[in-house]
Amino acid sequence: MTRPLAIATAIAFAISMTFPVGACLVEDTAALPRIWGVLDVSVAAILAVLAITVAAIAEPRVDAGARETAYRVYRVLLHGLLVGVVVFLTLGDRINWNSCLVGFVWRAWLLLYALPAWLVAVRRPSP
């Protein structure tokens, strides 16, 4: 039951990330269609509900293996901070940071917060 929910959460996360990326690349966000903002907030709300649900359901089953895997994933995701700095230094003047930074940060926080429970939820059930 939790595996399909975890997969749906990952899909919602991927879709949700397209909105801050798009907002970063547009000089004037007022040029975006009005539906852009509505879709951004709607998909973000769906993502938050899915992630919190996965965390609430799977958190009691988080074991040492899931914590260790999450730690390894955290170590890899930390490189995203360095990538962000490189992007900022090389393309900083071409990116609309005001429109995307908050979106990136709260999604990253949600990913890191729910990761151990998500890893448990996405596991295939043992036979």
pLDDT band for position 87 (50/70/90)? confident
Residue from 104, 95, 98, 99 nearest 37 by CA: 99
Evaluate whether residue 59 is within a structural domain: yes
State pTM to two decimals.
0.85
Evaluate whether residue 83 is within a structural domain: yes
C-alpha span between 76 and 49 (Å, rounded):
26
Evaluate whether residue 36 is within a structural domain: yes
Evaluate whether residue 115 is within a structural domain: yes
- Tens-digit pLDDT profile for residues 23-58: 888 888 888 888 988 999 999 999 999 999 999 999
Q: How many domains does the chain have?
A: 1
Evaluate whether residue 127 is within a structural domain: no
User: Which is it for the CA torsion 84, 88, 94, 96, positive or negative?
Assistant: positive
Note down the domain range covering 110: 2-122
- Give me the DSSP letters along 69-117: HHHHHHHHHTHHHHHHHHHHHHHGGGS-HHHHHHHHHHHHHHHHHHHHH
